[in-house]
Chains A and B, each alone.
Chain A
């Protein structure tokens, strides 16, 4: 897959974080390592992050994707907060992806608010990598379009 190179390098960049108080960080750590091994740049923020801090870091670090890890049942309010913060900052091309204990019943609501991919437990590693890669490609093409419009 060829990625448009609107970022400072062509490697996909993903920020991983947990919001709120939940401390289950094992899944996020494992994902961080294998995304890195798959050639992505990973910005690891860890646990107990506010959505404001995540969005600020995502912009500062020029990432393509924010990967939110949720094992505490708070995925709906935090996804909503994160996406509305990105929209407010005019950076809605930065994709939000969620991984963790997400009931299948919540998938339509998350998709409706703009979460670009939902990775449930038991998803094989290669599937996670390819999901993130395609989300990155989408995000970059939106950004490339916007930048070309701006130039014109």
Chain B
């Protein structure tokens, strides 16, 4: 017994000293003071919130003007299943929706694809056609609520087409549609779905969406560059900023090459960032990103409108920081990360649910995540003052250091010809793999402490606290059958004509915007797999990214 106690005391003592460096390995002094700000003039790197270079925030009044949008990523089963959860969320106080599709959707294939039967509706909502969007948004006034689509691959083109078709069917003015599509096809290479979204075709479809929305949907965010997913791979804070901005730069370049004026579209670009576990480093990271983006937009792209220079961002608390052992502890981790997001001036926040390392969130766990945001926004006082950490000797020094490191990485990317080229060459993959192994080493060696994992372990729980979200038996078969029935009952002549038209439009080349032909096809209940397969085929890729299905011969005429 006494040896157990001694061992426990030894463990506690071992972790009883503070770190000398940040999560990302930036060495820190014991204390920071005025000497760390010597030579810096207020108004240069750091100025009032709402003024260039926006280090302290993109709005002067910050959360007094409007508190961040409270979203909780949602999607499972059928459109109808997710619709039920959306209504529940709205009744409990979310101020925006965030819809995630399943893996079939990520790959751009339908619910009845031969390889996808077990995945249908598992990690997101199953969407194969307009019928699914009609069920998903049944009774939801899409002209009154901001909707974020958690989609990043070629399927963005399909989801935007479906949403437009839905709005047209309901007679809604598209200018009233507010929301976001991630539309970050470059980062999608690192989400395990690479084959489904070739770099060049992905850049083309991303710009199609930017161009279409700029003209027709002025209140829509045309792309939410996903730094978050990149960070989840294990890269550090400066790399997150540099890789993310590296991707963002490519879209701006491509959109300008399409003929768009930078100020016509850049104010509707946004970012999706991680709030990882190191509170001050993460605040510094987001402040540095704001400053860097403002300078890139002004100096590299000649933007004139200050809004084009704004680094608008949503935060997703770090899923990778959540642990399966002792899962209720994750509630606290998420709360710290949400606090970090608020201190950094996020425009929207998604809080993870504590059970995410175990399964899809339950209603209970998702409600706690939402309540976490609500307590933060309305009880803690954190919304009172813009950039409350601005001027902190430590945070300002850390902001400078992260910027310096991120600029170095960006320079390396630039030397390689930009992010798209660095992805094609495999450089980004190798950086990510290195980081992944480093993180594992830190965990195993105990260099990074994770409570409940490498210290303070407990025996495994007998059951998941709060219960489990379980998919109904045969969910895949049921949803696949619904798609087969749709194929049998729709006007297939209209579908074929619409897909032929889409094919012909795609054959007209990269510069030709496919959104109108996609929307027309969506109206006929052509499926996501048919539409995207047609586009893939026209650009010389396999119709089906999993090589199971072929382009119907009547389309390519």
Q: Do A and B bind each other?
A: yes
| Interface membership of A39, Cβ < 8 A | no
Contact of B103 with A22 in the complex, beta carbons under 8 Å: yes
Contacts A103-B464, A122-B323 given; does A23 touch B191 at CB 8 Å: yes
- In the assembled complex, which residues on chain A have CB atoms less than 8 Å from the CB atom of B107? 21
How close is B203's CB to chain A, nearest CB, in angstroms? 20
Q: Is the CB of A20 within 8 A of B119?
A: yes
Task: Please list 10 pairs of residues, one from A and one from B, whose beta carbons are closer than 8 Å in the complex, sorted by A's number.
Answer: A21-B104, A21-B119, A22-B123, A26-B436, A29-B433, A33-B437, A78-B118, A101-B324, A120-B324, A121-B325
* Residue B463 interfacial (CB < 8 Å): yes
The bracket for how many chain A residues form the interface is 20 to 34
How far, in Å, is B105 (CB) from chain A's closest CB? 10
Residues of B within 8 A of A23 (CB): 103, 106, 191-193
Task: Let me know if B323 and A121 touch, CB within 8 A.
Answer: yes
Does A90 have its Cβ within 8 Å of any Cβ on chain B? no
A73 adjacent to B103 (CB under 8 Å): no
Q: Which residue of A lies closest to B234 (CB)?
A: A26
Of B192, B359, B454, which is in contact with the most chain A CB atoms at under 10 Å from its CB?
B192
**B358 — which chain A residues lie within 8 A by C-beta?**
101, 103-104
Q: Which of B424-453 touch A at CB < 8 Å? A: 433, 436-437, 440, 444, 452-453
Q: Which residues of B contact A50 (CB under 8 A)?
A: 115
Q: Which residues of A lie under 8 Å from residue B463 when comparing CB positions?
A: 104-105
Contacts A72-B103, A104-B460 given; does A122 touch B359 at CB 8 Å: no
Distance, CA A22 to CA B121, complexed state (A): 12
Tell me whether A101 and B357 are in contact (CB under 8 A).
yes
Known contacts A22-B103, A104-B461, A104-B462; A77/B453 CB under 8 A: no
Flag whether A47 is at the interface (Cβ < 8 A). yes
> Assuming the A-B contacts A20-B115, A23-B192, A74-B122, are A103 and B103 also in contact, with contact meaning beta carbons closer than 8 angstroms in the complex?
no
- Fill in one digit per residue for B317-351: 1 if any A CB lies within 8 Å of its CB, else 0: 00000011100000000000000000000000000
> How far, in Å, is B402 (CB) from chain A's closest CB?
24
Judge whether B360 is part of the interface by a CB distance below 8 angstroms: yes
Q: Report the bound CA distance from A22 to B123 in whole Å.
A: 9
Verify A125–B460 contact, CB threshold 8 A. Answer: no
Inter-chain contact B436/A29, CB cutoff 8 Å: yes
Partner of B468, one of A24, A29, A105, A125: A105
User: Contact flags (1/0) for A80-122 with B, using CB distance below 8 Å?
Assistant: 0000000000000000000001011100000000000000111
Chain B residues with CB below 8 A from A103, complex form: 358-359, 464, 468
How many inter-chain contacts with C-beta < 8 Å in the A-B complex? 89
By a CB distance below 8 angstroms, the chain A residues around B453 are: 122
Please tell me if A34 contacts chain B, counting CB pairs below 8 Å. Answer: yes
Q: Write the chain B residue with the least CB distance to A107.
A: B460
Interface positions of A (Cβ within 8 A of B): 19-26, 29-30, 33-34, 47-48, 50, 72-74, 77-78, 101, 103-105, 120-122, 124-125
Choice from B193, B454, B464 contacting A105 with Cβ under 8 Å: B464
**If A23-B103, A23-B191 touch, does A74 touch B436 (CB 8 Å cutoff)?**
no
**B119 touching A22, Cβ below 8 Å:** yes
In the assembled complex, B364 has its CB within 8 A of some CB on chain A? no
B interface residues (Cβ-Cβ under 8 A, vs A):
103-104, 106-107, 109, 115-116, 118-119, 122-123, 191-193, 195, 232-234, 323-325, 357-360, 433, 436-437, 440, 444, 452-454, 460-464, 468, 471, 546
A47 touches B192 (CB 8 A): yes
Which residue of chain B lies nearest to A33 when distances are taken between CB atoms in the complex?
Answer: B437
| Cβ contact of A34, chosen from B360, B440, B461, B468, cutoff 8 A | B440
| CB neighbours of A33 from chain B (8 A) | 437, 440
Q: Which of B103, B234, B323 contacts A21 (CB 8 A)?
A: B103
Question: Are A104 and B464 interface neighbours, CB within 8 A?
Answer: yes
Q: Give bound CA distance, A122 to B436, whole Å.
A: 15
Name the A residues within 8 Å of B359 (CB-CB): 73, 101, 103
Cα distance A33–B122 in the bound complex, in angstroms: 28
- Bound CA span A23–B123, Å: 11
> Do residues B115 and A48 form an inter-chain contact, with CB atoms below 8 A?
yes
**What is the distance, in angstroms, from B397's C-beta to the closest C-beta of chain A?**
32
Specify which of A20, A77, A78, A120 is in contact with B460 (CB 8 Å cutoff): A120
Q: Which of B104, B118, B195, B462 has the most CB of A within 10 A?
A: B118
List A contacts of B440 (CB < 8 A). 30, 33-34, 125
Residues of B within 8 A of A78 (CB): 118
Of A20, A121, A122, which one neighbours B118 at CB under 8 angstroms?
A20
User: Least Cβ distance of B472 to chain A in Å?
Assistant: 12
- Complex Cα distance A112/B471, Å? 20
| B124 shortest CB reach to chain A, Å | 10
Residues of A within 8 A of B468 (CB): 103, 105
A134 to B320, CA, bound (A): 29
Indicate if the CB atoms of A77 and B118 lie closer than 8 Å: yes
Cα distance, A49 to B444, chains bound together (Å): 30
Q: Which residues of B contact A122 (CB under 8 A)?
A: 323-325, 452-453
